[in-house]
Structure 1
Amino acid sequence: MNAKSAPRAVGEGTTRTRLDRGRGALGPALELVHTGRAPTRAVLTAELGVTRATAGAVAAELEALGLIRVDARPGAAAGSQGRPSHRLALADDGPVALAAQVHADGFRAALVGLGGRIVATAPGCEIVDADPAKVLNSVVDAGAQLLRETGRRCVGAGLAVPSAVAEPEGTALNPLHLAWPAGAPVRDIFAERIRAAGITGPAFAANDINLAALAEHRHGAGRGARDLLCVATGHRGVGGALVLDGRLHTGSSGLALEVGHLTVHPEGRPCHCGSRGCLDVEADPLAFLTEAGRDPGPEVSLLQQANDLIRNQYADPAVRTAVEALIDRLGLGLAGLVNILNPDRIILGGLHRTLLDADPERLRAVVADRSLWGQSGVVPILACTLDHNSLVGAAELAWQPVLDDPLAALA
């Protein structure tokens, strides 16, 4: 830690002793403020299990690094007793991560600060080239332009893609809805483009639903859950992710929770995986539009068409029947996952969030009726709350080295 920024020792030994104790607490302290779990220095002290003096030194160093702000005039929290505590907040003008997302209907770049706050976004592109290098070059160019315009320091970059991403290679194994070749080395391409653009910091890539779950767990509807199941459908297909004991679970090679290939309708539509009736083709926007007897139009994304149909024409019997059919299929898949995983919370994103809003009781009843754990105690099913959660999750990848060791990452 920076000796210049630490307060004088008060009843805790030498300044050097306090600094040495606080150095290892910098990362945990930053994560507590980042996730909103330490709004004051008193809470930070309790969560870290250190003395007030050490917590003060840690907060001062994080402030010196430009990551947080410490309120110079402490105020008492509502209903609290004892002396007031200094409030902690994330720095409004601090560093950012470059986040990028590619999906079937375009791509988007953004700058994301600590706390999952989107600082700036670039206009999204609606055409995705079949060559991943061309797409990633364009999205990095858009991100680099945002960095130039804002003048922010960049800690790294993260990319969300609608494909399973194999570890440790960083290859997109099945980007089916992008027309990209199977096994495209998306992480290497992204990292090379990041370096070529002169953007500092490491580059990462991961599955978009995994990143949505990570973001929701830290900043949204999944906050506080220990074992969190996230299932979502965006523009095409269905994805799932699991936060297990507070950590994103990706399996031995990054391919865990490919829930889109759970069979929920054995005589249903052929799936890209070679099976039939998978969630991927039975509970996504295209499946809903087909079920409702609507021909997809080219004007807007399939997701927007499906959402608009439910929100604006739910009284139409064909639309209501399609909603019920998809809820039943989704509920069947969720029940199977509940039986296997026993999560303490389920969150739904994309079209699935809209289905939940349309008829929450039906979905919860299907899950409870088909799952052992549901029958003994209904698992809460909630809607995702973050806008652009996959983008926020992509930024979390880039922020993680800073959360692990702020001094080393920002040196």
Structure 2
Amino acid sequence: MFCLVSAQSQNRGVTQTRTTRLERGRAALGPALELVHTGRAPTRAVLTAELGVTRATAGAVAAELEALGLIQVDARPGAAAGSQGRPSHRLSIAPHGPVVLAAQLHADGFRAALVGLGGRMIATAPACLEVPPDPVQIIDAVVEAGAGLLRETGRRCLGAGLAMPSAVAEPEGKALNPIHLSWPAGVPVRELFTEALAKAGVRGPGGRPLAGHAGNDINLAALAEHRHGAGRGARHLLCVATGHRGVGGALVLDGRLHTGSSGLALEVGHLTVNPAGLPCFCGSRGCLDVEADPLAFLTAAGRKPGPDGSLLRQSADLLRTEYTDPAVRAGAELLVDRLGLGLAGLVNILNPDRIVLGGLHGELLKADPERLRAVVADRSLWGRSGSVPILPSTLEHSSLIGAAEAAWQPVLDDPLAALG
């Protein structure tokens, strides 16, 4: 009897151990995928160390992610040149793996793309430069463009994300201030986006309907830069950018986007940098939104907007090709001074360890990096004791990639549940 009870106890212990290992392995799938997705685990050895698990568990987790079609594990381990120690299997994104549909709306048009893991742009539809005033019409159009890409490529779609030039309230998913699209406040963009996906026949694994994700374009750009661009490795990343119209900002804290209590944090476009300046849509005067965007630059440089519609493209081209023109240089310096004043105030409040500038702001930084850094250092309390690195964005379509990041997040959280 004693032996029987002892054997049963041992069997129960083995079963419990196996169950625990299985649970631990499943719990590690999401963190492991995120490590490969962001390039922080190029080998199985690094994955083992980052997860804090045994080599066997890391191997099983990598094999499961490969079986799901998400990553690729090199069959033969190899060592990097000059490295020491035992060679390890290299990990990479599956070259023909699934994608998400990313969409972006802005004042000068819209664009759709398919984005894979690792922030890789798989396919993009030509940008449309006509923005219908009807929210349903434009959201349907950008989703149909993305659906066309899915049909052409034959890729599996696991999610969809939309970047908006507006604060998007949580949890309702409503665009509160889509002023640059001439929409009324409170448009239910997430609901309209989800309905457009269904109308276009965009389905998830097993033919399930997809729930669309929607967010502010600069928030999503900051997330993309933190995971795949100039913000990688920063603990407290501040991102400020001007796209086609207006100025936005975002903060990433310990790898997570800080959106405040209802998704409306960091409306930096409404910092006053010129009290006697232009009237702003918010009711104040001299906000960054109207003093440091492409239209403000063209005006300060003595240029009129051209007929092609894209103020961002016109401003960037002018800065790159005619910076030696005294009027263009004076206009750029005026915007740099206003931007630097706003950044200095944000540095005093937020104390970031890195700042990434996108859109025209990134181009202004490249044109005269020392002037902007000097303004921030001179005007900020912490700038005097230690300079905050200020870098230009390195992603060409950061808001689109950020929209994809929002769509990938459920997969990164629980790959098995997301893939059904």
- Say if 2:172 is the partner of 1:169: yes
1:271 corresponds to 2:280: yes
Q: 1:79: Cα distance to partner?
A: 3.0
| Match among 79, 99, 108 for residue 76 of structure 1 | 79
- Deviation, 1:124, is 1.4
Given candidates 231, 236, 246, the residue that maps to 1:227 is 236
The one-letter amino acid paired with 1:215 is: A
- The aligned runs of 1:10-409 (5 Å cut-off) are 18-200=21-203, 201-409=210-418
SS in structure 2 opposite 1:205? strand
| 8 Å Cα contact 1:307/1:354 also seen in 2 | yes
Question: In 2, are the aligned partners of 1:19 and 1:54 still within 8 Å (CA)?
Answer: no
* Equivalence for 2:5: none
Distance in 2, Cα, partners of 1:117 & 1:265: 40
Deviation at 1:387, TM superposition (A): 1.1
Give yes or no for contact 2:129–2:309 (8 Å, CA) kept in 1.
no
What is the aligned residue count?
A: 399
Give the Cα separation in 1 of the matches to 2:241 and 2:125.
24
Contact 1:240–1:258 at 8 Å: present in 2 too? yes
Distance 1:394 1:291 in 2: 32
TM norm structure 2: 0.93
Q: Secondary structure at the match of 1:157?
A: strand
Quote the residue 1:5 is aligned against: none
Q: Is the 8 A contact 2:222 2:250 kept in 1?
A: yes
Gaps of 5+ in 2: 1-15, 204-209
CA positional deviation for 1:199: 1.6
How far 1:18 sits from its partner (Å)?
Answer: 3.6
Look up the equivalent residue of 1:121 and give its one-letter code.
Answer: T
How far residue 202 of structure 1 moved from its aligned partner, in angstroms, is 2.4
Which digits, 9 at most, give the CA deviation of each residue in 1:346-389, with x for residues without a partner?
00000001100110000000000000111110000000000101
1:300: how far off?
A: 4.3
Secondary structure of the 2:356 match is: strand
SS in structure 2 at match of 1:82: coil
**Cα pair 1:165 1:207 within 8 Å, conserved:** yes
Measure the CA separation in 1 of the matches of 2:157 and 2:211.
Answer: 10
Distance 1:311 1:35 in 2: 31
Q: CA offsets per residue over residues 271-296 of structure 1, 9 Å max, x none? A: 11111000000000000111111111
Secondary structure of residue in 2 paired with 1:24: helix
CA contact (8 A) 2:143 2:200 kept: yes
1:4 corresponding residue in structure 2: none
In structure 1, the gaps of 5 or more residues are: 1-12
**RMSD over aligned Cα, in angstroms?**
1.1
Matched AA of 1:269 = L
**How far apart are 1:244 and its partner, in Å?**
1.4
Shift of residue 16, structure 1, vs aligned partner: 5.5
**Shift, 1:17, TM fit:** 5.2
Worse overlay, 42-51 or 245-254 = 245-254
Q: Distance in 2 between matches of 1:31 and 1:70?
A: 15
- SS of match in other structure, 2:103: strand
Q: Give the stretch that moved more between structures: 339-348 or 143-152.
A: 143-152
Residues 90 and 115, structure 1, Cα contact 8 Å, conserved in 2 = yes
Cα deviation per residue 1:189-245 (whole Å; 9 max; x = unaligned)?
A: 001111222222321000000000000000000000010000000110000000012
Structure 1 residue 77: Cα displacement? 2.1
Greater Cα offset, 360-369 or 69-78: 69-78
Alignment check: 8 A CA contact 1:228 1:243 kept: yes
* C-alpha distance in 1 between matches for 2:211 and 2:191: 11
- Runs of 4+ off more than 6 Å: none
